[in-house]
Amino acid sequence: METHNLKIFTFDELRRATRNFRPSAMVGVSDGESIYKGWVDRTSYKPSVSGVGIAVAIKILNTNNVQSLNEWQAEVTRGRFSHPNLVKLLGYCSEDGKLLLVHEYIPKRNFIDIIRRHPLPWDITMKIANGVAKGLSFLHTHESSPTFRIFNASSILVNENHEAQLYFGWASLGQIHGALPILMSNALTSRYNPVEYMAAGHWYIESDVYAFGVMMLDMIGGLVSLHDKRCSSPQSLLEWARFTLSDKGKLQKFMDPWLEQGNPPKGACKTADLILSCLQITPGDRPSMQEIVVSLEGINAMEM
């Protein structure tokens, strides 16, 4: 596991990197927090002119929000550890009551937008799923308190090599850039909320597992379940998934729009079983992300 030193930026450096936080540099905004695209030197991380050096994503956190304060602390604590399936933290700023995080900038390719536009081959689908699972497994292993964040479709970015990278600050990017209509985005992300979150507003490690199961359901079904009224709650979503995924004939029909030949690969049934285990209503009945990584690697080893 690679480690690196985080740079402590001054607020003036980040102001210059974004040309005084000009509106055209803003790439996201949500709950009083803003994300700007800036440019810094590749080696020194000193402010650079637009288009020169490397692009960074600079997030200004809402210091009046306890969740934002927890996020800043957790990110700085975890940030010295690098993982290929997490967007890399380069540095931070804490100055005059302002809290900022500086991540590497990844051109926005939201995974939901990708699978809405065109079906993905099975191997690429599983590559993305495996990357998400490994990123979450890393967080569960190395974060002292991972419950400040909520994992859903908006947390997943996909680079040009179809590698998934998680970042929990891009929730509104689809609304800014028009990749997802606002109502569609809200409908998608609310489906990722398990019963324990809807009942008490608490998000646990096991909640990530549930949301991962919903993500996998969307991946193999091309968002088919989104438009089914029977999937409006965690209980109804689980019942619908059991009805659809537990029967090989129904599973093949479910995957028909996604696979050109309508013939699910050998790993499809194993994937369906994995999804159902993630969607259990009782958090303790769900597998760990470490177990999910092992299961996915076994599925990936199967021939088409």
Predicted confidence (pLDDT) at residue 35 exceeds the cutoff of 50? yes
Render pLDDT for 61-79 as a digit per residue (tens, 0 to 9).
888 877 778 778 877 887 7
Instruction: Give the residue-averaged pLDDT of 230-255.
Output: 80
Question: What is the CB neighbour count within 10 angstroms for residue 142?
Answer: 13
- CA atoms of 180 and 12, how far apart (whole Å): 34
Which pLDDT belongs to residue 143?
Answer: 57
Residues 100 and 185 reside in one and the same domain: no
Which pLDDT belongs to residue 174?
Answer: 32
Which pLDDT belongs to residue 186?
Answer: 57
Residues 161 and 72 reside in one and the same domain: no
Predicted confidence (pLDDT) at residue 40 exceeds the cutoff of 90? yes
Instruction: Give the residue-averaged pLDDT of 214-238.
Output: 73
Question: Of 57, 74, 104, which closes a domain?
Answer: 104
Residues 183 and 54 reside in one and the same domain: no
Render pLDDT for 191-216 as a digit per residue (tens, 0 to 9).
888 989 888 888 889 999 999 999 89
Which is higher by pLDDT, 80 or 1? Answer: 80
Which pLDDT belongs to residue 161?
Answer: 85
Residues 172 and 197 reside in one and the same domain: yes
Phi/psi at 264 (5° precision): -60, 145
Residues 88 and 209 reside in one and the same domain: no
Residue 175 pLDDT level (bands cut at 50, 70, 90): very low
Which pLDDT belongs to residue 187?
Answer: 56
Of 87, 77, 129, 165, nearest in space to 267 by CA: 129
Instruction: Tell me how many domains the chain contains.
Output: 2
CATH for 38: 3.30.200.20
Residues 91 and 212 reside in one and the same domain: no
Which pLDDT belongs to residue 100?
Answer: 94
Predicted confidence (pLDDT) at residue 93 exceeds the cutoff of 90? yes
End-to-end CA distance of the chain: 32
* pTM for the full predicted model: 0.82
CATH for 155: 1.10.510.10
Which pLDDT belongs to residue 244?
Answer: 86
Which pLDDT belongs to residue 177?
Answer: 34
Task: Specify if 2 maps to a domain.
Answer: no
Question: What is the CB neighbour count within 10 angstroms for residue 296?
Answer: 23
- CA atoms of 301 and 7, how far apart (whole Å): 40
Give the SS3 label for residue 134. Answer: helix
Predicted confidence (pLDDT) at residue 59 exceeds the cutoff of 50? yes
Per the structure, the complete domain to which residue 25 belongs is given by: 7-104
Which is higher by pLDDT, 162 or 288? Answer: 288
Highest mean pLDDT among 14-28, 186-200, 239-253: 14-28
How far is C-alpha 248 from the chain's CA centre?
Answer: 29
Which is higher by pLDDT, 185 or 118? Answer: 118
Task: Specify if 144 maps to a domain.
Answer: yes
Crossing angle of helices 248-255/267-278, nearest 10°? 100
What is the pLDDT of the chain when averaged over all its residues? 80
Task: Specify if 238 maps to a domain.
Answer: yes
